[in-house]
Amino acid sequence: MDPPPGFLPSNSSLVCKLQKSIYGLKQAPRAWYERLTSTLISFGFVHSKCDPSLLVLNTTTDCLYVLIYVDDIILTSSSPSLLQAVISKLHFAFALKQLGDLYYFLSIEVKRYSNGSLLLSQSKYICYLLAKAGMTDAKGISTLLQGGLKLSKLGSEDLDDPLLYHYIVGALQYVTITRPELSYSVNKVCQFMA
């Protein structure tokens, strides 16, 4: 970065201190998160005990959730009027772009049903992983891992590409968000990462 025009340091060891973060710097996402969460807290939100990126606003009759991921925000509420009020307040504080209903977020597809329920799915992401592993033609089975099966590193051949194995196993850990029945099997294969 260059010093601002007109700044002529008399000493070459002097540095400039930025008063606000610049988009693209390593500190920018943290500064954005701090500013956004402090604004939301001033609106009455509190951090979730489970996830610091989830903020909750409880009123006597309604509840509103804000999920933050870098510079993407998901808002949902039991009350459309409360949701619009918070969006208006956020518009006043920040330049926002509303993208409408949520359909896809962090490789999770969101399907809406007429009764108001939602289905979270990672089918597109799973198809991508199968293609990456060269298993698009693999047949499905009802039992993911045989009960009482003892796995061992000994007696098996080394993999041609151990990094691919690490990538696939790490990605499978993410898949367990919407497919918890895979957790035991993924845990077993995670034991053989080395």
What pLDDT shows up at residue 52? 86
- Quote the mean pLDDT of the chain: 84
Domain 16-99 - what CATH class? Answer: alpha beta
pTM: 0.67
Tens of pLDDT, residue by residue over 121-141, are 999 999 999 999 888 998 887
The Cβ of residue 66 has, within 10 Å, a number of other Cβ atoms equal to 22
Strands 108-112 and 46-47: unpaired
Q: Write the CB contacts of 107 (distance below 8 Å, at least 6 apart in sequence).
A: 122, 124, 125, 174
Tens of pLDDT, residue by residue over 148-192, are 777 777 766 777 777 888 899 999 999 998 888 888 888 888 887
Q: Are 63 and 78 in contact (CB under 8 A)?
A: yes
81: pLDDT strictly greater than 80: yes
Q: Are 192 and 159 in contact (CB under 8 A)?
A: no
* Cα–Cα distance list, 104 to 29, 65, 72, 111, 172 (Å): 22, 18, 12, 9, 18
Largest CA distance in the chain: 74
Instruction: Place 1 in a pLDDT band, splitting at 50, 70 and 90.
Output: low
Task: Kindly list the domain boundaries of the chain, sorted by start residue.
Answer: 16-99, 101-136+159-194
Beta strands in 36-149 (DSSP E): 46-47, 54-58, 63-69, 72-77, 104-105, 108-112, 118-121
Task: Report, as an integer, the average pLDDT of 41-57.
Answer: 92
What pLDDT shows up at residue 69? 86
Task: Report, as an integer, the average pLDDT of 49-56.
Answer: 91
Residue type, 133: A
Tens of pLDDT, residue by residue over 105-125, are 888 899 989 998 889 899 999
